[in-house]
Amino acid sequence: MSDAARPPLYIRIHAADNVAIVANDGGLKAGAEFADGLRLVDNVPQGHKVALVDLAEGEAIRRYDVVIGYALKALPRGSWVHERVMRMPTAPELDGLPIATVRPTALPPLEGYTFEGYRNADGSVGTRNILAITQTVQCVAGVTEFAVQRIKAELLPKYPNVDDVVALEHSSGCGVAIDAPDAIVPIRTLRNISLNPNFGGEVMVVSLGCEKLQPERLLPPGSIPIADQRAGAAPDAALDVVCLQDDAHIGFMSMIDSVMRQAEEHLARLDARKRETVPASELVVGVQCGGSDAFSGVTANPAVGFCTDRLVRAGATVMFSETTEVRDGIDQLTSRASTPEVAEAMIREMAWYDAYLKKGMVDRSANTTPGNKKGGLSNIVEKAMGSIVKSGSAPISGVLAPGEKAAHKGLNKGLIYTATPASDFICGTLQLAAGINLHVFTTGRGTPYGLAEVPVIKVATRSDLARRWHDLMDVNAGRIADGEASIEDVGWELFRLMLDVASGRRKTWAEHWKLHNALVLFTPAPVT
Identify the sign of the CA torsion 266, 271, 273, 275. positive
Q: How far is the CB of 441 from Ca ion (least distance, A)?
A: 8
Task: Pick the closer one to Ca ion by CB: 214 or 288.
Answer: 288
Q: How far is the CB of 368 from Ca ion (least distance, A)?
A: 12
Does residue 23 contact residue 49 with C-beta atoms inside 8 Å? Answer: no
Segment 247 to 306, residues that bind Ca ion, using CB under 5 A: 288, 290
Pick from 422, 436, 480, 487: which binds Ca ion (CB under 5 A)?
422
Q: Is 125 in the site for Ca ion (CB under 5 A)?
A: no
**x/- track of binding to Ca ion for residues 426-445 (CB under 5 A):** -x------------------
Task: Pick the closer one to Ca ion by CB: 330 or 422.
Answer: 422
Does residue 309 contact residue 36 with C-beta atoms inside 8 Å? Answer: no
Task: Pick the closer one to Ca ion by CB: 146 or 425.
Answer: 425
**Paired residues of 318 in beta bridges:** 285, 415
Per-residue exposure over 104-124, b if at least 16 CB sit within 10 Å of its own CB, e if not: eeeeeebeebbbbbbbbeeeb
Q: Which of 256, 123, 243, 274 is nearest to 195 (CA)?
A: 123
Q: How far is the CB of 179 from Ca ion (least distance, A)?
A: 31
Task: Pick the closer one to Ca ion by CB: 229 or 324.
Answer: 324
Pick from 25, 404, 424, 482: which binds Ca ion (CB under 5 A)?
424
Q: How far is the CB of 220 from Ca ion (least distance, A)?
A: 32
Task: Pick the closer one to Ca ion by CB: 200 or 402.
Answer: 402
Segment lying near Ca ion (by CB under 5 A), choices 97-105, 250-258, 419-427, 504-512: 419-427
Q: How far is the CB of 338 from Ca ion (least distance, A)?
A: 25
DSSP SS3 for 444: coil
Task: Pick the closer one to Ca ion by CB: 195 or 318.
Answer: 318
Q: How far is the CB of 196 from Ca ion (least distance, A)?
A: 19
Alpha-carbon distance of 321 to 527, in angstroms, equals: 25
Task: Pick the closer one to Ca ion by CB: 287 or 411.
Answer: 287
Q: Which of 205, 202, 197, 137 is nearest to 170 (CA)?
A: 137
Please tell me what DSSP assigns to residue 483. T
Task: Pick the closer one to Ca ion by CB: 260 or 451.
Answer: 451
Q: How far is the CB of 89 from Ca ion (least distance, A)?
A: 22
Alpha-carbon distance of 245 to 255, in angstroms, equals: 9
Q: How far is the CB of 169 from Ca ion (least distance, A)?
A: 21
Task: Pick the closer one to Ca ion by CB: 78 or 290.
Answer: 290
Q: How far is the CB of 372 from Ca ion (least distance, A)?
A: 11
- Cβ partners under 8 Å of residue 526, min gap 6: 176, 177, 180
Q: Which of 11, 14, 46 is nearest to 27 (CA)?
A: 46
Segment lying near Ca ion (by CB under 5 A), choices 86-94, 139-147, 224-232, 420-428: 420-428
Does residue 452 contact residue 355 with C-beta atoms inside 8 Å? Answer: no
Alpha-carbon distance of 406 to 275, in angstroms, equals: 23
Task: Pick the closer one to Ca ion by CB: 424 or 464.
Answer: 424
Does residue 307 contact residue 494 with C-beta atoms inside 8 Å? Answer: yes
Size of the site for Ca ion (CB under 5 A): 5
Q: How far is the CB of 422 from Ca ion (least distance, A)?
A: 4
Segment lying near Ca ion (by CB under 5 A), choices 74-82, 415-423, 432-440, 459-467: 415-423
Alpha-carbon distance of 334 to 341, in angstroms, equals: 10
Q: How many CA atoms lie within 13 A of 399 on its CB side?
A: 21
Which residue ranges make up the site for Ca ion (CB under 5 A)? 288, 290, 422, 424, 427
